[in-house]
A = this chain, B = another copy of it.
Amino acid sequence: MDDRFAFSIQTGSPEPIYRQLVEHVRRRVAGGQIKAGDELPSVRELAQLLAVHPMTISKAYSLLQAEGLLERRRGLAMRVAAQHQHAQPAASRIELLRPALARAAAEARQLQLAKATVMKLFSDILDEDEHP
């Protein structure tokens, strides 16, 4: 399947959809899965696929464009901007993950869970993700 369409959103989440999209794209660009020059699905296409309002997609794209990650070309699909090097080295990328890990660690402590128990579950989840 077209990799451009491997988006996933959770409508029930408290995190707004447009923000889920923004961060999803940011991470996939940082990880090199989407490269400079790649085209993104059109607003209408993606809106239909995710069953959300087109303006929601548009808002996400606009934010990404405002920060220079995407470039808008009249009449054409949005494209990942070439002007900057977006893919980041692992040493930088790992820092983008820190907030999510810190949050999980805080919850683990409040739940009084042993480190080994937590690490084991996390390891299992990471393995599942590799072979979905």
CB-CB under 8 A from A1, the residues of chain B are none
| Inter-chain contact B113/A101, CB cutoff 8 Å | no
Determine the distance from Cα of A16 to Cα of B62 in the docked complex, in whole angstroms: 14
Shortest C-beta distance, A112 to chain B (Å), equals 3
CB-CB under 8 A from A27, the residues of chain B are 107, 110-111
Q: A24 at interface (Cβ–Cβ under 8 A)?
A: yes
Per-residue B-contact encoding for A114-129, CB less than 8 Å = 1, 0 else: 1101110111011111
Q: A96 at interface (Cβ–Cβ under 8 A)?
A: yes
- What are 5 sample pairs from A and B whose C-beta atoms fall under 8 A apart? A97-B111, A97-B113, A101-B125, A105-B125, A109-B130
Task: Tell me the A residues contacting B by CB distance below 8 Å.
Answer: 14-17, 19, 24, 27-28, 30-33, 53, 63, 66, 74-75, 90, 93-94, 96-98, 100-115, 117-119, 121-123, 125-130
